[in-house]
Structure 1
């Protein structure tokens, strides 16, 4: 460590009353739970450790200044949260990452500050970062740089879980299990208090998945409730109770999800059949003639991402989302209803550079390959929601950019909210009625004026209208 300029890393540690963003992401991704041992390596003041203990997690924290006496022992999960960016010596930075990797037995979770935060960090150039006025150091990573750096040091393929957060799995099957969960979430089983309800839950699964579950996929209580039934008898009960059309639709959906998973897996490097999660193996066996055939079909799907004409055709054919001359905009509630190639498009961007934790609408460009996740936090209650932030990933260069509108006095806003959703979304009728009222009132006659807060308000005044919730009213003179 270079001491000539009195680096004081302890000053970078902040007190936390709630979980850090990376820890919240890891909880949401089921990487942190009460069944795993967790080590916060470089825990600072220990805010995450305290919060995770409240959640009944088996967690310990080590820090060279605040908790140096904590024994360093291998743990299922190691958190390396905002540590790499404060180490000014590249060799020590690399060694710290190696040590954290060696301590992890299941997954290492690495997070760092990103280049878009440069405006918040004031200082002079020092080495590959900045020396701040508080005598601390900051090396700001790009999303792609962080993922590539972790892969290089650990020697394993990594996944960007969110901007600035990377997962490095010790076992490739664990990585694929996480990837599969992101694309095909774990089955939700109906409650089963007795044999009758257990059979009903089983039938529901078959209709949604398109195939019967393997015994290892069953929740243990359900397996015990059905243990007295012979396999042939159970098959007959399913055949007699399940709706054939629903099963066929479930099979189609699962086939497409499997192709999507295998295509994303190839984008992030594909392993042998035996490395796939059990549920995916069973899907391949049920809906494809072989693993080879499934891979070939997914490869063709991935190749279609290069074809602008095909992508534009898929966007035009999509039953969900708003298409413009440059992109398709889709609400997160409708994202899984897009054509499979467009879902692949969005997933590849998320695996490469991380999907942000908070977002409302995904924007997919039809020329070039770039995905933006736009956050409109008040989408449901605001008739014309204002944008809060945007995060863009260029799939050709893997460069990212972030824009915050928190301090903007004239934010962009949305119109025709129903167009971003799926046709069966329960909010569509309400949003469509508002759009029709605004059209009749002449509020859309000057589309170049209404894209921002001030322009929209001026048009409301011009037309003598005001909004109360999702109702358009005549403006009365005070």
Structure 2
């Protein structure tokens, strides 16, 4: 008699959700999902994401073999395959499921799975290529880079890592490149326009930000209608008269670098013809380069410079933002766009290879070897010496990633000299600098190798007779007098 094939109790892995799952929330932001966009949650479990998306008036449907077998498995613009692949114990079925979800996709497939660093959260024993839990459920844990490669192999298209454990596969190059361009060089919102005068003001703002006048095809439909009565030459004359030449020049320089960044990242991932680029990027190339070939050559040279240790180190030491150490440059996310373009490319290559985490505060770029860490200090703005909650690390040499959590640590690493991670003009930089100056004057930094953790820092405060109240450093006696008042 043939032996009955074992199946895991997959339905037990489905959890009740009150809000959107992380992959669905990420897709809402990145895909610009709006009313009129159809969404299919393939393997929706108990249907939590479906209910939330329905509440947003989206055209959403869900299907699950246990909880919603009556759901519609029909093609949709966006298909979500959320934590489905990792619970399938049969490798062949895993592939079939991914292929079926891809076949139902019109625009983009969002694939998410649990990752290997979560192994200590799962109680079970090794079974086949995964883990068998005591509840008779199965978990296959992917490496972050492995998940992207796996989806690419099955879909036969180039995929992008949106975040650790979340991969996007696009049906068209236009959709993929449009998403990538927004991610590398996010555009600003258009100013509101009620009449021709306000529409011209909005075009002036665009010119000052981007360094060129937009085409009618780039403008919101209503704005293009308000300006349709003007000849192109007349519109250009009015706009250039009102614009600041210095701002236009700065905008052109910024857009030139952003365009090189888009093209360099695209080469890192494979580059297509000029016509495959988003319209705005095509027009940027025409405005700021002699040809697409010249723009690509400059972008190629930029990418090659990432291999030059001395060039990368010089870029870090010459950066207007960030804290330079013997091993790396540390930059706050608010200042990241102020780094030299080669360092921005460095960070973007790592994010595309293995995903940038949703929560992070400071990016660490190594100049000894190639690797990027995204460090999460959730209380950076409120805590004078914020504690490290987690770090996500990508090695660009091996494309391997790792995750470290300090949530349960009783002696976490913490930050000093917060102003050094920010741009000079950051509104909080002066406040942080004043605190640092007072701490240096009080002698708190005399033994820097001892103050990098909570315990060491508290010992230094005790030794110097100081206490912190917000971003103010007080003598303990001064604090006692204030409390007695």
TM-score normalised over the length of structure 1 = 0.98
**1:408 match:** 409
Deviation at 1:245?
1.4
What SS does the aligned partner of 1:330 have? strand
**2:16 match:** 15
**1:240 match:** 241
Query: What does 1:216-235 align with in structure 2 at a 5 Å threshold?
Result: 216-235=217-236
Between the aligned partners of 2:26 and 2:359, the Cα distance in structure 1 is 10
**2:69 match:** 68
**2:122 match:** 121
**1:209 match:** 210
What SS does the aligned partner of 2:44 have? coil
Does residue 398 (structure 1) correspond to residue 399 (structure 2)? The answer is yes
Deviation at 1:5?
4.2
What SS does the aligned partner of 1:40 have? strand
**1:441 match:** 442
Between the aligned partners of 1:194 and 1:151, the Cα distance in structure 2 is 48
Deviation at 1:260?
0.3
Deviation at 1:405?
0.6
Deviation at 1:3?
5.8
Between the aligned partners of 2:168 and 2:210, the Cα distance in structure 1 is 28
Task: Say whether the 8 Å CA contact 2:375–2:388 is kept in structure 1.
Answer: yes
Does residue 347 (structure 1) correspond to residue 348 (structure 2)? The answer is yes
Task: Say whether the 8 Å CA contact 1:308–1:366 is kept in structure 2.
Answer: yes
Deviation at 1:159?
0.2
TM-score normalised over the length of structure 2 = 0.97
| TM-superposition CA deviations, 1:330-364 (whole Å, max 9, x none) | 00000000000000000000011000000000000
**2:288 match:** 287
**2:106 match:** 105
Task: Say whether the 8 Å CA contact 1:43–1:49 is kept in structure 2.
Answer: yes
Task: Say whether the 8 Å CA contact 1:5–1:135 is kept in structure 2.
Answer: no
Deviation at 1:449?
1.1
Task: Say whether the 8 Å CA contact 2:88–2:139 is kept in structure 1.
Answer: yes
Between the aligned partners of 2:55 and 2:455, the Cα distance in structure 1 is 46
| TM-superposition CA deviations, 1:140-170 (whole Å, max 9, x none) | 0000110000000000000000000000000
Between the aligned partners of 1:364 and 1:8, the Cα distance in structure 2 is 43
Deviation at 1:437?
0.4
Task: Say whether the 8 Å CA contact 2:7–2:89 is kept in structure 1.
Answer: no
Bigger Cα displacement from structure 2, 25-34 vs 389-398: 25-34
Count of equivalent residues: 477
What SS does the aligned partner of 2:246 have? helix
Bigger Cα displacement from structure 2, 237-246 vs 185-194: 185-194
For structure 1, which runs of at least 5 residues remain unmatched after alignment? none
Between the aligned partners of 2:36 and 2:314, the Cα distance in structure 1 is 47
Between the aligned partners of 1:446 and 1:171, the Cα distance in structure 2 is 57
| TM-superposition CA deviations, 1:103-129 (whole Å, max 9, x none) | 001000000000000001121111100
**2:483 match:** none
Between the aligned partners of 1:3 and 1:146, the Cα distance in structure 2 is 31
**2:158 match:** 157
Deviation at 1:71?
2.0
Query: What does 1:69-84 align with in structure 2 at a 5 Å threshold?
Result: 69-84=70-85
**2:334 match:** 333
Between the aligned partners of 1:169 and 1:186, the Cα distance in structure 2 is 21
What SS does the aligned partner of 1:448 have? helix
What SS does the aligned partner of 1:98 have? helix
Deviation at 1:390?
0.3
Between the aligned partners of 1:5 and 1:111, the Cα distance in structure 2 is 25
Task: Say whether the 8 Å CA contact 1:262–1:295 is kept in structure 2.
Answer: yes
Bigger Cα displacement from structure 2, 196-205 vs 84-93: 196-205
Deviation at 1:234?
0.7
Deviation at 1:33?
2.5
Deviation at 1:329?
0.2
Deviation at 1:24?
1.1
Between the aligned partners of 1:442 and 1:58, the Cα distance in structure 2 is 62
Deviation at 1:246?
1.1
Between the aligned partners of 1:21 and 1:421, the Cα distance in structure 2 is 28
Between the aligned partners of 1:57 and 1:223, the Cα distance in structure 2 is 28
Between the aligned partners of 1:391 and 1:110, the Cα distance in structure 2 is 20
What SS does the aligned partner of 2:449 have? coil
**1:374 match:** 375
Task: Say whether the 8 Å CA contact 1:176–1:276 is kept in structure 2.
Answer: yes
**1:38 match:** 39
Deviation at 1:6?
4.7
Between the aligned partners of 2:156 and 2:445, the Cα distance in structure 1 is 55
Between the aligned partners of 1:345 and 1:393, the Cα distance in structure 2 is 11
| TM-superposition CA deviations, 1:266-316 (whole Å, max 9, x none) | 001101111000000000001111100000000000000001100000000
For structure 2, which runs of at least 5 residues remain unmatched after alignment? 481-485
Deviation at 1:4?
4.4
Deviation at 1:31?
4.5
Deviation at 1:230?
1.7
Between the aligned partners of 1:228 and 1:51, the Cα distance in structure 2 is 44
Does residue 57 (structure 1) correspond to residue 50 (structure 2)? The answer is no
Query: What does 1:127-166 align with in structure 2 at a 5 Å threshold?
Result: 127-166=128-167
Between the aligned partners of 1:54 and 1:382, the Cα distance in structure 2 is 36
